[in-house]
Amino acid sequence: MWVLRSILVLIIIAIIVGFALYNSGPDQAVDIDLIWTQRLDVPVITIVFWAFILGAVVSWLLFITVYLKQSNQIRESNKLVKGLQTEVMALRNRPIEESKDLLNSKGDLRE
């Protein structure tokens, strides 16, 4: 459910930024000089839009990795808890005579 909600939020924000992009004036332009390319007279809103989209995608990918790591840890912890509960139940259901013999044999070793 959280995936659908995050995708919906990203779509709504992208629509808002896209609307702003199409309503911006041509007088708001800058030159971009990257290592591999050079662009002249790029609208500022375009730069803001693509920077936002790239940041949202990167943060979403980081969130996914953290979520998967935590769910894996929770799964392992649940397995451990289940094993320990099984062990405790086995110890609780052990016959009293067997426990008594165990205690006596430990007492003999101490003497």
* CA–CA gap between residue 80 and residue 60 (Å, rounded): 30
- DSSP per-residue letters across 85-103: HHHHHHHHTS-HHHHHHHH
Give domain limits for the chain.
2-110
Question: Can you give the pLDDT of all 111 residues of the chain as single tens digits?
Answer: 778 888 898 898 888 877 776 777 767 888 888 888 888 888 887 887 788 889 989 999 999 999 999 999 999 999 999 999 988 888 787 776 666 666 666 555 444
Q: What is the pLDDT of residue 17?
A: 75
> Residue 99: what pLDDT?
63
Please tell me the predicted confidence (pLDDT) of residue 71.
Answer: 95
